[in-house]
Chains A and B, each alone.
Chain A
Amino acid sequence: MTKSFVGNVVLRGASLDVHPGEVLGLVGENGAGKSTLMKILAGVHEPDSGTIEIDGAPVTFGHPIQAQQAGIATVFQEFNLLPERTIAENIYLGREPRKGRLVDVTGMEREARSLLEGLGITGLDPARRVRTLSVAEQQIVEIAKAVSLDARVIQMDEPTAALADHEVALLYDIIGNLTARGVAIIYVSHRLREVLHLCRTVTVLKDGEQVDTRPASELNESTLVRRMVGRPMSSFFPPVRPGTETGKVRLELRGAGNDHVDGVDLTLRAGEIVGIAGLQGSGRTELLEAVFGIAPLTRGELLIDGVSVTVGSPRQAIRHGMALVTEDRKATGLALQQSILDNALGVVRSVFPGRTPAARRDVPGLLGSLAVSARSLGQEAQFLSGGNQQKVVLARWLTTHPHIVLLDEPTRGIDVGAKHAIYEVMRELAAEGVAVLMVSSELPEVIGMSDRILVMRDGRLAGELPAGATEESVLSLATGVGEVAS
């Protein structure tokens, strides 16, 4: 079984071969082109050039269904499941078995059960609604669906990102079970230890190019990281501004918790940039949401400038000098149909109406210093590029002159230039004595920008690392998989 591509800008001439019964690891930094490659194989995107061959015969996919029919199934991080339907109904959606004219519900559930048992899963009732399932169980349903499609290649995107340890062991069993039947697995993961343990062959992507493919036995974690990163990171992140001083404690949490995070002790000082790392679902966003009053703390204490305060809503948080750049700028960061000016003044107008005229005067200069490229202040935010949108989000908060800035994935999905501009803003804020708390999934970013790194796992702080910690040490804290010498 062979597949090869020559791809587009995101993907430059990457190719890979998968053999029956093999687990192929696909690794690379965020933006290296892994997702693009997966989506091409899943039939979501079409390649600009290049071919996909199955058993030597070239195929083209115009629709995800065609990829499935050709035997390639994909388990995305965002599951394609209907929460209100049962396990069996989800597995057989679009192919419901019938007896005469009617759907054979009991037969369908029986088949789903034997399918799950074939994967080594018992105790999962096919009549249960998917919404009642844990993330691990939903993933099992996705895999079962792939198996029921007679998939010969199953792609898995970060399958262990949201799983607990015993669930990871279960996934390994399932993967072993599948490869024994001759199914090939393309396994995309940031967890290098896992990839080395699970995969026979590993392909490394960097900046859209395939830099290496070799047997896992010839690799170890540090050689992998070197191939993945392959460039000095230090030059990319601007240095700390001269004169930046770590001052008094701006924000402190003592034993803080709510439904999603627990037992968080944290101090954030003026002039500091503190990074929060952790796997997806580890409670990073939830921690920021708790501090900002979106899901207020129900336990413990929150102190601002040494004074214990209650933050029961974002409005109160803003009044206490906080700002939150959310991870989804289109949904919660901006009013897309409003102008750049209205967006930049959105928070000031509603929370500090008296300061609006002054903020209005500041906006042009602020946007200029952020290097927002737009036709006019009246342009609607939806027509800006992702990077410019993110700068407008920053402007929206900087007009409030915050003392504590919370950033959730501040550079997600934006180009390198805009990333750099946002890093500069963070350094500038720190120099002005603002305390910055940043959540990011990109380890180089966390490591390159933070004065200290807090690592979260399962809704709690798993530990703290100094500036310049290695990716391995962050990952081992995040996964809870033994310490790595660093």
Chain B
Amino acid sequence: MSITVRQGRTLSSTTIVFAVLVLAIVAGAIITAVNGRNFFSIGNIDNVLTTMTILGLIAVGQTLVILVGSLDLSVPFVVSLASVTAGGIMAGQTGRIVPAVLLTLLVAVVIGLVNGLIVSQLQVHGFIATLGTGLILSGYLASNFQGSHGEAPRAFRLLDATRIGPVPIATLIMLGCAVLAIVMLRRTRLGHHLYAVGGHAEVARMSGVRTATPIIAAHVICTVLSAVAGLLLLARLGVGQPTVGSQGSYDLMSIAAVVLGGTLLSGGKGNIVGTLAGVAIFAVLDNVMGVMQLNPFLKDVVRGTVIVVAVAVYARREIDRRPARFGSASPTPQEVR
């Protein structure tokens, strides 16, 4: 028995985002060369990778949260909290690195659990739930920390300073987390159920999926990855900074990178690889704009334009869900086997 198949004619979002990334790199290389420098120099690549590392970690977590149909606006405050908590506990002593890291991650797990439970049990959308927890964290940070807090010992700062070839260890940590997230999404039940709940919670429930589990897991992983980002920032700066997260606008930038990477903001569709490409596009843009010495306003104009244009392009492909029956635009049915 043969079946009629319509051949997909549109490019996947991931293909588009990688095409844009290549375009950005080529354009970046040319612009950098015109400015008398080499885009592919060790120093410059290092700069791009460093920019990618922090946003990459957070965006990987944000991808999971968005895939499951939620949002996490508390990430910048988790980043800051991790940085001051770990910095405060370490207080410059090498022996305290391990307990500091463990305790920081534990705090992140608790915050993620709270976020996930609010979303899954109280049925509050992630936007509001994490706006609330984020506000609480930001209030705590603002009233308890003025200026930098604590100090990272030299051994911990090596995390930022050490490189394998041109690649910083911190970047490898980010990539390692990304690979784990990819495996989780593709090869574990949790990952499959994450897509299912984000795609259509009721369909998932009717198929026997416990819908709370993926929501809570995604939120916990997201805050933990944000805390890791906070730890890496502590290693880079040497001191804990209560405003380091909000200065980076990691909430909106991570959401932008995820969406730029082709993940549907409403959940259920998307992947980590696209997000990494989205993060890389932002990193390349920042790098090139730095080389060009654009003023900060123009930088934000470029970033904003890229986000809006990208989503507009994806939206055009999502609008007409009902396939055309007639007309030149309709794909020709093909007989296979």
Q: Which residues of A contact B (CB under 8 A)?
A: 64-65, 68, 80-85, 89, 93-96, 98, 101-103, 105, 120-124, 132, 134, 136-137, 170, 173, 257-262, 283, 298, 458-459
Contacts and interface: CB of A to CB of B under 8 A. Distances in A.
A64 B202 CA distance: 11
A89 to B, nearest CB: 6
B268 A84 contact: yes
B325 A262 contact: yes
Nearest to A458: B325
B327 A258 contact: yes
B37 interface: no
A260 B208 contact: no
B336 interface: yes
Interface in B229-262: none
A123 B189 contact: no
B193 A102 contact: no
Given A136-B3, A459-B326, 18 more contacts: A84-B199, A84-B268, A93-B192, A93-B196, A93-B203, A93-B209, A96-B192, A101-B188, A121-B1, A123-B5, A124-B3, A170-B3, A258-B326, A259-B325, A259-B329, A260-B322, A260-B324, A458-B325
B154 interface: no
B312 to A, nearest CB: 20
B184 to A, nearest CB: 10
Contacts of B186: 103, 105
Contacts of B5: 123
A65 B196 contact: no
B203 A96 contact: no
A132 B264 CA distance: 17
B-side interface size class: 35 or more
A81 B206 CA distance: 10
Contacts of A105: 186-187
B203 A80 contact: yes
A260 B324 CA distance: 6
Contacts of B196: 82, 85, 93-94
Q: Which of B192, B329, B337 lies at the interface centre, i.e. has the most chain A CB atoms within 10 A of its CB? A: B192
A170 B325 CA distance: 21
A121 B3 contact: yes
B2 A123 contact: yes
Candidate in A85, A98, A120 with the most chain B CB atoms within 10 angstroms: A85
B266 to A, nearest CB: 11
A379 to B, nearest CB: 27
Given A84-B199, A84-B269, A102 B207 contact: no
A298 B268 contact: no
Contact of A120 (B1, B200, B327): B1
A170 B1 contact: yes
Q: Is the interface of A mostly helix, strand, loop or mixed?
A: loop
A259 B204 contact: no
Given A94-B209, A123-B337, A260-B322, A298 B327 contact: yes
A462 to B, nearest CB: 14
Contact of A259 (B192, B330, B336): B330
B189 A98 contact: yes
A304 to B, nearest CB: 23
A102 B187 CA distance: 5
A80 B196 CA distance: 11
Contacts of A260: 322, 324-326
B269 to A, nearest CB: 4
Contacts of A132: 6, 8
Contact of A137 (B3, B188, B200, B329): B3
A85 B195 contact: yes
Nearest to B325: A459
B4 interface: yes
Contacts of A65: 206-208
Contacts of A261: 325-326
Contacts of B192: 85, 89, 93, 96, 103
Nearest to A128: B5
A173 B326 contact: no
A174 to B, nearest CB: 9
Contacts of B2: 122-123
Interface string B1-26: 11111101000000000000000000
Nearest to B184: A102
Contacts of B336: 123
A53 to B, nearest CB: 23
Max chain B Cβ within 10 angstroms of own Cβ: one of A94, A95, A120: A94
A136 B200 CA distance: 21
Nearest to B327: A259
Contact of B189 (A103, A262, A458): A103
A8 B17 CA distance: 55
B6 A173 contact: no
Contacts of A103: 186-189, 191-192
A170 B195 CA distance: 31
17 contacts: A65-B206, A80-B206, A84-B195, A84-B199, A84-B269, A93-B203, A93-B209, A94-B196, A94-B208, A103-B189, A120-B1, A122-B2, A123-B336, A134-B6, A257-B326, A262-B326, A298-B327
A82 B189 CA distance: 15
Contacts of A121: 1, 3
A98 B199 CA distance: 22
A6 B191 CA distance: 43
B206 to A, nearest CB: 5
A81 B329 CA distance: 26
A89 B191 CA distance: 11
Contacts of B4: 134
A426 to B, nearest CB: 28
B327 to A, nearest CB: 5
A82 B195 contact: yes
For the complex of A and B, list the 4 residue pairs with the smallest distance between their C-beta atoms, beginning with the closest. A259-B324, A94-B208, A94-B207, A123-B337
B75 to A, nearest CB: 25
Interface in B192-228: 192-193, 195-196, 199-200, 202-204, 206-209
Given A93-B192, A123-B336, A132-B6, A82 B326 contact: no
Contacts of A81: 203
Contact of A94 (B188, B193, B200): B193
B4 to A, nearest CB: 6
Contacts of A136: 3
Most A Cβ at <10 Å: residue of B186, B192, B209, B326: B326
B206 A64 contact: yes
Nearest to B326: A262
Interface string B316-337: 0000101011110110000011
A91 to B, nearest CB: 10
A377 B202 CA distance: 36
A95 B189 CA distance: 8
A212 B152 CA distance: 82
Contacts of A170: 1, 3
Given A94-B193, A105-B186, A122 B1 contact: yes
